[in-house]
Structure 1
């Protein structure tokens, strides 16, 4: 951003603790999140992987599969919506990744964590549309981990 240009540096919205929007369209978030890659946790046995659901909107999920102890084992399914008021955070931040690894390990659930588009770049209802697209994708049950290990009679929604 060119701060010497008064047009560029003019703030039109300031939402304290979340973001500023400048007249030129630039959005500056007060808090930046880090990125945790999907992993295989050797301590808990939980594996995770990322899957793109809607490529044109970059709607992605991170799946968490708890340790498998039996060949025909089925786990309850948890669909998780990360916090941040639809304007900050990510399903891929170390905070949520660590949290969902522990939830999957301690409660023996398959977790699906949704990475949806954030406001204000993407106006509401984008986050809801993205989440609904993931819910429809989950209900199809075609992803191999879901197909093999999810108990679709025990589906839970959660977030914080």
Structure 2
């Protein structure tokens, strides 16, 4: 009798396992928590379907004492997880976004998208674009969701995400620049530990062929038709898309011990030299690893990052 491990077709640990019969076992991000009033921050949340076609939902957040008399900036957030694990409804993201909403005094739409390998790339990008179009349908106060109609300033829209979600945020911002989206004025994007890669190392990026092959292997798992690590979805930095970035401000956050750190710096350098012409800010957390702020939300570095992100979205207030 064969052992259970011999039934594994693809070992994508520590994220997931794919078995020969097609079954997918996710090893991370499988918990979910319900929306509602968070007693620590007094932030309220609820889940709303944004696509009847796929049944996908978003989790919406509004801060304490929100009033339709004062429209608030909107953050559209895309969760991370290598395009294959985690959801917008996991405690990881729920516990991150509640304090951010309270600190920044913003409205958040946290997008849940279909995940690979059941729904390979570009499903995550397609769903994220559909979610943003659904958000835009509320411009003018005539959309299906009351919170967006009443409380959002559509002249102050931001996109953000961590890891794979930061990758999505970049590509959606480029799509806005190329195609425009009536009802949404994209002010800026916030990329936390962005999941970009490439065939050739940049700077002091790790050169170990085994490690690089594993990273490419994960990408091939979620994008079976890919051309490899230089696929523009994974390596957008060299495909001349920067000039189309549909915002005027970018904040990139990296962590000193993160294997993706060098890509974040490379992204910033290339963006500054491009024809885009906007403002780029960089924040590096010393001694920290990939998405540390999600797993250690109360540590000094996480609190500093939270405050930086909140300030980035309220820059005009600081100038007044």
In 1, are the aligned partners of 2:15 and 2:85 still within 8 Å (CA)?
A: yes
Return the alpha-carbon distance in structure 2 between the equivalents of residues 69 and 15 of structure 1: 43
1:76-95 matched pairs, under 5 angstroms: 76-95=73-92
Residue of structure 1 in register with 2:10 after alignment:
13
Q: Which moved more, 1:125-134 or 1:42-51?
A: 42-51
TM-score (norm 1): 0.90
Q: Alignment partner of 1:54: what SS? A: coil
Any runs of at least 4 consecutive aligned residues in structure 1 with deviations exceeding 3 A, and if so which? none
**Selected match of 2:152 from 102, 127, 150:** 150
Return the alpha-carbon distance in structure 1 between the equivalents of residues 67 and 125 of structure 2: 36
Cα 1:147–1:60 shift into 2, 3 Å = same
Q: Alignment partner of 2:25: what SS? A: strand
Residue of structure 2 in register with 1:137 after alignment:
134
TM-score (norm 2): 0.46
Which has the larger helix fraction?
Answer: 2
- How many residue pairs are counted as aligned between the two chains? 157
In 1, are the aligned partners of 2:67 and 2:151 still within 8 Å (CA)?
A: no
Cα 1:107–1:22 shift into 2, 3 Å = same
Residue of structure 2 in register with 1:51 after alignment:
48
Residue of structure 2 in register with 1:25 after alignment:
22
Which has the larger strand fraction?
Answer: 1
Q: Which moved more, 1:25-34 or 1:85-94?
A: 25-34
Q: Can you list the C-alpha shifts for 1:100-119, whole angstroms capped at 9, x where unaligned?
A: 11111110010000111110
Q: Alignment partner of 1:123: what SS? A: coil
Cα 1:97–1:134 shift into 2, 3 Å = same
Residue of structure 1 in register with 2:281 after alignment:
none
Q: Can you list the C-alpha shifts for 1:37-57, whole angstroms capped at 9, x where unaligned?
A: 001124422110000112342
**Which runs of 5 or more residues in structure 1 are unaligned?**
none
Return the alpha-carbon distance in structure 1 between the equivalents of residues 66 and 51 of structure 2: 32
